Amino acid sequence: MTNKFKVGIVGGTGYTGIELLRLLSQHPCVEIVTITSRKDEGTPVEQMYPSLRGRVNLNFSSPDTPLLKECDFVFFATPHGVAMSMARELLKHDVKVIDLAADFRIKDKDIFKQWYKMDHVCPDLLEEAVYGQPESKREQMKNARILGMAGCYPTSIQLGLMPLLNLHKNEGQIVDFSTPIIADCKSGISGAGRKADVSLICAETYDNFKAYAVKGHRHEPEIVQQLSEMAGETVPFIFQPHLLPTIRGIFSTIYVRLTDKGYDTDLQALYEKSYASEYFVDVMPAGAIPETRMVRGSNYLRIALSKRQGNILEVLVVEDNLVKGASGQAIQAMNILANLPENTGLTGIALVP
């Protein structure tokens, strides 16, 4: 492998940034050219993250570094609003942009503004951008210049429902949408990011569990957008996230009201067939129950199904929010853009125990 792809990371000091570093530094076809942090410019990466000692020999550089323009791919592991401010310039230099934040996820710029409290500065690029979720958008992604990567919760919910909603779209009358789909989700605390916030400190969150965002969460419009596309109609949807006292892991328990026809369908078989060729999506055997540790540190997502009374289908999904829910899926996306096997550099097995 003489010619490696050159990649850059903008915003390398958060958890998706270090996770990109952990994964990319082990990727056989990639050279990490630069990683930026305005605040920590000049600091050796290994000083901030000693787990990378001996493996990542870079200092954080300024986001203004010209090195970004020499990259094949630039990942944005930044707060919302950064990628859209830098994307146009990078595209001019034939750099492909992979945004892990929300700048290119929501197609309707008014809805974007409503939830993210900022104007979208490049609506034309937003229109061009492809939603970055390989299992549901692989074909559209292949020739994209900009990817707005799927969020962590949205990835788990979409993949948990895709075979069902696609069937509903194709055959009709599978889901009974008179009752909203309910996603009762639980996330490890790394999902809240690496920031100085009293509510995140260990003495506040350890040995504790709570719900949050009962009045609405930014991932809702993204999820509804994608689920509705899958179903071919607007999906009524209730999203209730909770905060787990763990570092990593999302567990989504999804309740869907089916029609009698939907309830009589062999959904286990449907899911197994739908995902048979997907390396990262594992439909567990009937009766098995996923656990977040079964995917800890890996790019896998595991799904189990259970039919309950009253025509309710319960879908259980686990993923690692920092891997399949963020950095791992972003590298999976890069592999697609680079025409590499999709699992290149991503075959790590979950850390159990």
Under the binding rule (CB under 8 A), the answer on residue 228 touching its own copies is: no
Binding mask 160-179 for its own copies (x = CB under 8 A): -------------------x
Can you tell me which of 6, 137, 168, 257 binds its own copies, judged by CB under 8 A? 257
Catalytic pick among 71, 122, 152, 185: 152
Under the binding rule (CB under 8 A), the answer on residue 263 touching its own copies is: no
Q: What residue has token string 């969020």?
A: 151
How many CB atoms are located within 10 Å of the residue 293 CB?
16
**Closer residue to its own copies, CB minimum distance, 147 or 316:** 316
**Closer residue to its own copies, CB minimum distance, 126 or 243:** 243
Q: How many residues bind its own copies (CB under 8 A)?
A: 86
Under the binding rule (CB under 8 A), the answer on residue 269 touching its own copies is: no
Under the binding rule (CB under 8 A), the answer on residue 309 touching its own copies is: yes
Per CB under 8 A, which of residues 8..67 are in contact with its own copies? Answer: 15, 18, 22, 25-26, 49-55
**CB-based contacts of 283-292 (< 8 A; 24+ apart in sequence):** 289/316, 290/251, 290/316, 290/317, 290/318, 291/251, 291/318, 292/188, 292/244, 292/246, 292/248, 292/249, 292/250, 292/251, 292/318, 292/320
Of the candidates 272, 293, 274, the residue with the CA atom closest to the CA atom of residue 284: 272
Q: Residue 155 CB, nearest distance to its own copies (Å)?
A: 17
Q: Residue 119 CB, nearest distance to its own copies (Å)?
A: 27
**Closer residue to its own copies, CB minimum distance, 142 or 308:** 308
Helix (H, G, I), strand (E, B) or coil at 22: helix
Q: Residue 234 CB, nearest distance to its own copies (Å)?
A: 12
Q: Is 233 left (phi over 0), alpha (psi -120 to 50) or beta?
A: beta
Binding mask 177-216 for its own copies (x = CB under 8 A): --xx-x-x-x-xxx-x-xxxxx-xxxxxxxxxxxxx-xx-
Of the candidates 147, 161, 205, 129, the residue with the CA atom closest to the CA atom of residue 326: 147
Q: Is 152 a catalytic residue?
A: yes
Cβ proximity of 225 and 134 under 8 Å: no
Stretch that binds its own copies, among 63-71, 87-95, 145-153, 306-314 (CB under 8 A): 306-314
**Structure tokens of 103?**
């700048």
Under the binding rule (CB under 8 A), the answer on residue 138 touching its own copies is: no
Cα dihedral 122, 123, 124, 126, rounded to 10, equals 90
Q: Which residues are annotated as catalytic? A: 152
